[in-house]
Amino acid sequence: MRLLSWNIHKGIGGRDRRYSLGRILDVIEAENPDLVCLQEVDRLVRRSRFDDQPRLLAQALRCHGVFQVNVPVGRGGYGNLVLSRWPVASRHRVSLRQGSRKPRGAQLLVIDTPEGLLHLVHAHLGLAERERHWQMERVLGHMLFRSADRHPTVIVGDFNDWRDTLAAGVLAASGFSQVTSPPSRFRSFPAWLAVGSLDKAFVRGDVEVKHARVVRTSLTKVASDHLPLVVDFHVRR
């Protein structure tokens, strides 16, 4: 099975500032993932031509789509989107907003894959280190997370964790191992000259990771300000 995680920056290129959802789709289709976790997805916002990006992406990729609005913008907003080739057995949204900081969120889904049920947690964390630790502790301690933690679990998204402190902290304490390690192999931001390993993946339970990589192509370097992360894995029966 293949999972792709990517902060698509509303479909706006990191350097040319050009809006093109087509470039995003071309990158995703070239990788042919079964599960797609996207951050900063616009819905009905002027800068992206008022496109309903969650609907357009789900239709183009012929996937089940689950969208979470985190940040209101006018009559629309942007947030997290999960696209799945397989049915979604359950779905929940958790707010990760702390005080007056920019709203953030996490999606907690159980996916009915051909290899069994998979607990997928998709998050976009904040810019401050203390905020990020509070957010991850909130996710891991949430009753909705605990209700599905008997299943093999994958946590992915844009962690904004430049110093990689979450891996050895609350995630290790909760039994998660880092897929995107060492960070020097998974630099994903900024896309045109990546120096930061911000896009991460962690697993726990009967998840066997076969391969993980950051997608570095001429197209991914211009389509967004982040590079996509791809993880190939199996759920062990």
Residue range 91-108, pLDDT digits in tens: 999 999 998 899 999 999
Task: Please check the confidence at residue 237 and state whether its pLDDT lies above 80.
Answer: no
Residue 61 and residue 6 in contact, taking contact as beta carbons nearer than 8 Å: no
Exposure pattern of 58-70 as b/e (b: 16+ CB <10 Å)? beebebbbbbbbb
Total domain count for the chain? 1
**Rounded CA separation 106/175 (Å):** 19
Domain hosting 12: range is 2-235
Which residues have CB under 8 Å from 192's CB, separation 6+? 14, 15, 221, 222
Query: What is the arithmetic mean of pLDDT over 70-78?
Result: 96
Query: What is the arithmetic mean of pLDDT over 126-145?
Result: 97
Give the domain CATH number at 29: 3.60.10.10
Distances (CA, A) of 97 to 94, 105, 127, 138: 9, 7, 12, 10
Question: pTM of the full predicted structure?
Answer: 0.97
For the chain, report the end-to-end CA distance as a whole number of angstroms.
Answer: 14
Query: What is the arithmetic mean of pLDDT over 198-224?
Result: 98
Residue 78 and residue 40 in contact, taking contact as beta carbons nearer than 8 Å: yes
Pairing between β-strand 153-158 and β-strand 35-43 as defined by DSSP bridges: unpaired
